[in-house]
Structure 1
């Protein structure tokens, strides 16, 4: 098996505390792209903890997800304990000798998992550079720069891949709050889409994600997941939250406003070069010094191994957090 290097991820407060042992508590973690205002947890019956998840409960979750994401009636849909486990399983859809093209720079686990499985992986900067790759991987909106490929353009590329037996994988982890970006409602053939629950609903610890595709692709992934993939409490929370369109629409508007506010704050220390409603990306020559300064103030932001001039900022939660960030940046 090919050995690949570890990837820096957001949300790793153990690393933050090791880097800045004298930072004040509590930490303000802005290193993730998770909604800082979570969905209010519904009542979870004791039975959800005490027995194995039932088929009826899973069917209820999938029905709610199908409506929330606009999944076509003839497309397959499966739930998993987070999209990361689905990313780990994606190489099972490939074949020996496949060439994989990943549009980047992007979420590093996509390159890592295919290389770990022994595939030849090329990081390309656009769809046009995919060449003769059999599998094309795209994060849309992209993480960390928020770049978007319009569904119409992606549909054309997907159909060309399908005509020669290829496969397109679209990671839409941040699509919920970016209207008009999802390809799910018009799902073309030979296309598999990943959707993340935890980022949108601020409940990343719940570990819930989905895969959508036509044909047998989702069934093949489900077989590898095995039975009872999603725990009972996640079925209850996911079903309730996904059915609450009013909350999601209100959250989308509120987080878009927060992103604009964060842009105004970050413009004072660097150039805001992109992002989504849940995070912003800044480029500055002072990135390393800024990371250290914020860390000493107990504020953790996302840095990048291969882009040392860039930092990604998540959204603060509440006025106290906003004031703390503003003061640290001004200092």
Structure 2
């Protein structure tokens, strides 16, 4: 199993510091989550039939013509390589943008497909080449790199013409909704959306897939019944319909994202990212990660390639001050 952010139990065990004593910035999850309502009593009692209210709210929020709820986008990331095998009966030539959320390449490789990892700057050539599936995150996780919608739609057309798929993971797309291509899903374009990041509800395990109806039908059949719990459906529907909370949260996250980038810049770190996280290639990534951890600040370490660091947002002013102090100590002694 690949390593991910949010692994605070590992941090507590390795460094001998209680979970409650950590400032966890290792994920890109909104640290001030949606105030989840109490689910109706029957949500715990009844089998979770598919919720029309949830799908209606999701389609309105994401601007997609049709969506399939899934148990987090991870469920779709694992299932899509299997569906491709089932459809074609043979492995596909898959290009995965790099660097990227590692589960994408891992799941396609594990299913037996031929995977090539390609830098974002080379994706135009990859889309025009002979690959059958092209996978990327937009915004990218972990770098925040963006591909404008027009290019994505051109790539989708090229892939669809040869029976291929363009898979666009928009898990961090809520703060840049104008860049989403969910409204155009279909004809070879598959879009993944997550409730966990912007809404801060990662424990809900709720995401959505936008795609052609035949892909959604095959995916639903592969995943089986009752994939989304009753409480998750009710809470998700409420969050996706709460426009006032969404507007206020978007303003706060955009401001906090700028604040985090400015804080890092004051300590000589030129970062990129999104409103929910910042990332930079760090030549001393392991040492930085360890130095932060010894001060009780848990950040995300990337060791592939040249190495890098990703930092999420603190939840409150005390967290911001603690991060600033840890960065000051690194600048002084790192």
TM-score range, shorter chain: over 0.9
2:58 equivalent to 1:65: yes
The one of 236, 239, 246 equivalent to 1:238 is: 236
Q: Gaps (5+ residues) in structure 2?
A: 330-334
**RMSD over aligned Cα atoms:** 1.6
- TM-score, length-normalised on structure 1? 0.93
Please name the residue that 2:4 is paired with. Answer: 9
CA distance in 1, matches of 2:212, 2:24: 38
Deviation per residue, 1:194-226 (Å, 9 max, x gap): 000011110100100100112400111000111
Query: Following superposition, which runs of at least 4 residues in structure 1 exceed 6 angstroms of deviation?
Result: none
Moved more, 317-326 or 285-294: 285-294
Matched residue, 2:24: 29
Match of 2:94 in 1: 100
Secondary structure of residue in 1 paired with 2:249: helix
Question: Which runs of structure 2 are paired with 1:1-331 in the superposition (5 Å)?
Answer: 6-22=1-17, 25-55=20-50, 58-72=51-65, 76-94=66-84, 95=88, 96-125=90-119, 126-130=122-126, 131-187=129-185, 189-331=187-329
More helix by share: 2
State how far apart, in whole Å, the 1-side matches of 2:55 and 2:20 are: 40
Residue aligning to 1:3: none
How far off its partner does 1:188 sit? 5.2
How far is the alpha carbon of 1:50 from its aligned partner?
1.3
CA contact (8 A) 2:9 2:19 kept: no
Cα contact 2:37–2:235 (8 A) shared by 1: yes
Q: Deviation per CA, 1:299-331, whole angstroms, max 9, x where unpaired?
A: 100001204541100000001111111111112
CA contact 2:144–2:273 (8 Å) conserved in 1 = yes
Deviating more after overlay: 279-288 vs 127-136: 279-288
Match of residue 332 from structure 2: none
Report the CA distance shift for 1:273/1:188 in structure 2 as closer, same or farther (over 3 A). Answer: farther
SS of match in other structure, 1:199: coil
Q: For 1:309 and 1:107, how far apart are their aligned partners in 2?
A: 14
Mean CA deviation greater in 23-32 or 142-151: 23-32
Aligned-residue offset at 1:66: 0.5
Which SS does the other structure have where 1:303 is aligned? Answer: strand
Contact 1:22 1:296 in 2 (8 A): no
Q: Is the 8 A contact 2:143 2:280 kept in 1?
A: no
How much does 1:43 deviate?
2.4
Please say which of residues 281-290 and 96-105 is displaced more in the overlay.
281-290
Change (3 A) 1:12 1:198: same
**Is the 2:285–2:303 contact (alpha carbons within 8 Å) kept by the matching residues of 1?**
no
Gaps of 5+ in 1: 1-5
SS in 2 for 1:281: strand
Q: Residues 309, 98 of structure 1: CA spacing in aligned structure 2 closer, same or farther, 3 A cutoff?
A: closer
Alpha carbons of structure 1 residues 243 and 22: separation in structure 2 relative to 1, 3 Å: closer
Residues 246-286 of structure 1: per-residue CA shift (max 9 Å, x gap): 21122111111001111111113343331111000123334
Using the alignment, how far apart are the partners of 2:268 and 2:138 within structure 1?
Answer: 25
